[in-house]
Chains A and B, each alone.
Chain A
Amino acid sequence: MALSRRSKVVGLTLVGLPLGAVALATALPQDQMRRNLYSDKASCERDYSSYQCEPSSSTSSSTGGHGGSSGGYHGPYYYADRNSVAARSDPGTGRTGQVTTTQTSMRGGFGSIGRAFSGGS
């Protein structure tokens, strides 16, 4: 008997769900990462080692009440949820708390062409 050339079973778990249900199923867990932004290097080094403090560039965007600032120095990334297991081994939020603001990633660096066209072919 010749072998069948088709899938034996085609079961779906996600496809076909209403869009709202898909959104719920894909809700992200709360393990956001942040890093602190300081006005100068000395402030940063009060919280972190010298090698962990880097000049802040345009590679990240600020969030929170003081969003939009640039320049200064930033510390290393840490988990926002300090109770998470992952947070036990990260550099922490800093000792002094004298933080200008916190930063998350810059976004929107991909997708500009796709807004005009879909990506499939």
Chain B
Amino acid sequence: MRREVLTPRLAWQARVEALGLDFHTTDGQPYWWEAACYAFSAVEVDVLEAATETLHQMCLEAVDRLVADGGLGRVQIPEKYRDWVAESWRRRDPDLYGRFDLAFDGRSPPKLLEYNADTPTALLEAAVVQWYWLEQAKPGRDQFNSIHERLIAAWTELRERHPKISRVHFAGVYDALEDLRTLEYMRDVCGQAGWPTEQLDISKVGWNGRAFTDAAERPIEALFKLYPWEWMLQENFGEDLLTDCTAFIEPPWKMVLSNKAILPILWEMFPDHPNLLPASVERAGVPGPCVEKPVHGREGADVRLLGADEAGTGGAGRVYQAAYKLPVFDGIYPVIGSWVIAGRSAGIGMREDTAPITTNASRFVPHYFA
């Protein structure tokens, strides 16, 4: 694994905008960054693929254990929603996608930093934009990225499994450009799988006393939501979710995995696993330097590095994970976003930053392997 410095393609901005990435620059700072790329060997890609599938299986085992043991309170799911979440798991409501954030230097086993299991973004960049970059900037090279075709296959499978669902609504915050483009892309691949789709701002979802409805007052049969479960539970329609009248993608059981309280549980179930870092809900459970994370934090928000003798904030909403030395290339810290589509490892997207905590401002950098 290495970082290569490159000359960006001519008119790269227009090229990526044509693919829907019109948020390539935010607040004057580049988000899409093709003045560099990461190069992997085929063996390293095999390692990442195997680690991703292993982690996904471990996560499913963790959900199964928590449901069976009545342990959903450990991942802070409010009591009144626990039966509903458990039933979603027992039915095995199908999940579509997720993104593991991994630390990897090409030599040591990849380490799980967190799992974005509910509303992962940086999808268009990983599935589409870096694919076209490879075609033009590194023709003849390969890329660990079958995200696009696996998404179409996954939507096709979902459609075949639910033949009575006539359309899928795509809800989220359409005012946010990145969310809008992610939703558009998901609608695109869903449509290519043969399912009619419609967009619906999350604030326009209706409730008629029996069913969630769209802007035309039709019951919403299936809803792809780019909107976190933990927010939905807190909002006015939260309890109406318990009627179970809509098929949600991601399904309710995914909220077990989409908060960082799952990290200590994984460590407890699989101690010393090579793809995990020690983690605990108590600062004392992770001796030495560690990273304190909010259970429901997003994009690096409110993450703190704690020194060996430094106390944590405490409280139920924090987890502590052993600090791991990220690889550094030219003073840049990369993190690998490893995508799982319908339970299978599907490819990666790279984010990098000059600081060791990845945030929403961290740059997306393409990759290839040989």
Contact = CB atoms under 8 A, between A and B. Distances in A.
B204 interface: yes
B216 interface: yes
Nearest to B227: A119
Interface string B149-187: 110000000000000000000011100101101101101
Contact residues of A: prevailing secondary structure: loop
Contact of B144 (A5, A12, A105): A5
A13 B196 CA distance: 13
Contacts of A111: 173, 201-203, 205, 227, 235
A58 to B, nearest CB: 10
Interface stretch (A30-38, A41-49, A65-73, A92-100): A30-38
Contacts of A30: 216
Interface residues of A, number: 46
A85 interface: no
Given A5-B142, A12-B19, A14-B187, A121 B121 contact: yes
Given A10-B131, A33-B218, A110 B237 contact: yes
Given A15-B181, A118-B173, A28 B203 contact: no
A15 B258 CA distance: 27
Contact of B231 (A12, A35, A119): A119
Contacts of B132: 10
Given A15-B184, A59-B209, A109-B207, A118 B178 contact: yes
For B121, B145, B214, B217, the residue with the greatest tally of chain A CB atoms inside 10 Å of its CB is B217
Lowest 8 CB-CB distances: which A-B pairs, in order? A105-B206, A109-B237, A120-B121, A111-B203, A118-B176, A33-B217, A15-B20, A109-B236
Interface of A: 2, 4-16, 22, 26, 28-35, 57, 59-60, 77, 80, 104-115, 117-121
